[in-house]
Amino acid sequence: MARPVTLFTGQWADLPLEVMAQKASAMGYDGLELACWGDHFEVDKALSDDAYVRSRWDILEKHNLKCFAISNHLVGQCVSDAHIDERHKSILPARLWGDGDPDGVRERAAQEIANTAAAARLFGVKTVNGFTGSPVWHMLYFFPPTTDAMIDKGYADFAARWKPILDVFQQEGVRFALEVHPTEIAYDIYTAQRTLEALGHHRAFGFNFDPSHFIHQQFDPVNFINQFPDRIFHVHVKDSKVTLNGWSSILGSHINFGDHRRGWNFVSPGHGDLDIDAMVRALNRINYTGPLSVEWEDSGMDREYGATEAVRWVKANDFMPSNVAFDAAFESK
């Protein structure tokens, strides 16, 4: 049986969930990965109103859709970022931004992520995807001179902020899956290893595998799967196209997504450098049977056209492993 193909609603939060569910069902998706912004899944309402959780399922079931995960990336980003500024204000509800004092923002964001674990349990899903923020990302280039002690202190700060949250997740029977991503505490294989070590390999912490963030960093996404077979809690299907041409840079040049001058861009699945065959075979090796969730981002394509094409492409390229050796029929009896 093939894995379910879902659609992450984060890039569709301008639409009411009822409209989004109708569209996704018509496109051919098996379910939705609900974003915790817009009206798709509101954590405070899930915890304060018994009817709210049922209302989300009523909409999904009306359109024959399932849900395996909810995602709270925007709030998670604010838990441990070193610098809290107007960028964070733009992604937070007013009740979490408050007066904008950085420590207060981080504390309210941490409580909201812990509350998301409880909301997920009430909703009946076992995985919350998201970001963590990072106390060390701003020191990426190691200039001005950056010492090991500075980086160690950053990882310690991250762990101090996230371990209590993860304890709540474990108590609730829910897992947190970090989308490994530039600007997060883990953005590649080595930083993911270091993050696990900083957390003492906390049982509630793993990864939302998204190959698009690895392609433009120019390391093989399959190596990430092979390195963390027991920590792949959820999978995004998103594509990235590298177009380094002697003028452009992988750093993006402070140019907006979609601009042809960038050294890389996110593109609709099947239009970039993702080797989906290799990815599927790696997921089969680790016995991943969860959803393949399309996170659709492509500044150069109509999103409804792209998302419709994407679900067909993913379903056409997903396959389960064989349960027999291909040459078993050659054996003499």
Q: What is the DSSP letter of 30?
A: S
pLDDT computed for residue 67 by the predictor: 98
The C-alpha atoms of residue 279 and residue 220 are separated, in whole angstroms, by: 10
pLDDT computed for residue 323 by the predictor: 79
The C-alpha atoms of residue 70 and residue 169 are separated, in whole angstroms, by: 13
pLDDT computed for residue 1 by the predictor: 59
Would you say 35 and 8 are in contact if contact means Cβ atoms under 8 Å apart? yes
pLDDT computed for residue 332 by the predictor: 63
pLDDT computed for residue 307 by the predictor: 98
pLDDT computed for residue 329 by the predictor: 59
pTM of the model: 0.96
Structural domains present in the chain: 5-324 (3.20.20.150)
pLDDT computed for residue 238 by the predictor: 98
pLDDT computed for residue 303 by the predictor: 97
With a cut of 50, list the residues of the chain below it in pLDDT.
Answer: none
Residue-wise pLDDT for 136-152, tens only, equals 999 999 999 999 999 99
Would you say 39 and 17 are in contact if contact means Cβ atoms under 8 Å apart? yes
pLDDT computed for residue 333 by the predictor: 63
